[in-house]
């Protein structure tokens, strides 16, 4: 199992000032004043030599909206995602598809990009972040199998950099189609990028606040588990938000 990279933590809502030889245990760790997630950075992180992070993937000529809208059910939507050929696939080990639950709980989790662990095994929210996510769900009486999970893009970006606008735009029709098909009772977004892309929320300012997707689906943005691994003191704030989510699911 790989450790979470600084890039993973950047996407999760933590902005780092990276040196060429970064060490996660070194101090200070600096957070910028800008909460928005920057796409396609070229700074590399290496302890021995400078790794080259490929630039943004080229835009596909295939109309993603048409492909996504052609799917008649969730199974066909997964097949469409796997066969679409998003440009990021050329850099990743695996396409990491969404997970759709048949449970009537009605919770959809939207995360950012697959982690290095996810990329290795082709499944979402694995490794330490996945273990913590399971504990968070269990704390409010929910099992992972009862939750649908979808990322903003379905392949890990090179070096775990922030996805470009074009890369997000190519995956967005599949995310939108999934939300429409699922019609969840509530959505939980993980990390700064997901919060911004789904409802325009900014972390940490809007953490735990209730937003509306399509004017009717309640959305609660929270920190990504990667952030909580680094900043365990933030778990108290997340716990309060999870309790609010639990109440939403009971009343929605």
Q: What is the pLDDT of residues 75-92, one digit of tens each?
A: 999 999 999 989 999 999
Per domain, the residue ranges of the chain are 6-251
45 contact partners, CB below 8 Å, separation of at least 6: 5, 6, 7, 18, 20, 22, 51, 159
pLDDT range class, residue 50, cuts 50, 70, 90? very low
At the top level of CATH, which class does the domain 6-251 belong to? Answer: alpha beta
What percentage of the chain has pLDDT greater than the value 90?
73
């Amino acid at each position: 199992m790989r450790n979470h990279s600084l890039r993973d933590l950047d996407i999760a809502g933590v902005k780092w000032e990276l040196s060429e030889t970064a060490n996660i245990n070194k101090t200070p760790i600096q957070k910028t004043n800008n909460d928005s997630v920057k796409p396609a950075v070229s700074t590399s992180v290496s302890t021995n030599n400078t790794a080259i992070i490929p630039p943004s993937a080229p835009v596909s000529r295939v109309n993603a909206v048409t492909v996504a809208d052609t799917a008649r059910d969730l199974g066909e939507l997964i097949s469409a995602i796997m066969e679409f050929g998003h440009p990021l696939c050329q850099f990743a080990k695996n396409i990491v598809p969404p997970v759709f639950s048949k449970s009537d709980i009605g919770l959809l989790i939207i995360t950012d990009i697959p982690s290095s662990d996810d990329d290795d095994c082709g499944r979402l929210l694995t490794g330490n972040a996945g273990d913590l996510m399971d504990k968070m769900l269990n704390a409010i009486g929910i099992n992972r199998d009862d939750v649908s999970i979808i990322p903003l893009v379905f392949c890990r970006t090179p070096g775990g950099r922030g996805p470009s606008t074009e890369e997000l735009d190519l995956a967005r029709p599949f995310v939108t189609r999934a939300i429409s098909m699922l019609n969840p009772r509530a959505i939980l977004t993980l990390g700064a990028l997901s919060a911004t892309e789904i409802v325009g929320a900014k972390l940490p300012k809007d953490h735990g606040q209730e937003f509306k997707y399509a004017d009717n689906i309640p959305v609660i943005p929270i920190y990504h588990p990667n952030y909580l691994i680094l900043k365990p003191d933030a778990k108290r704030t997340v716990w309060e938000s999870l309790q609010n989510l639990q109440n939403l699911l009971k009343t929605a």
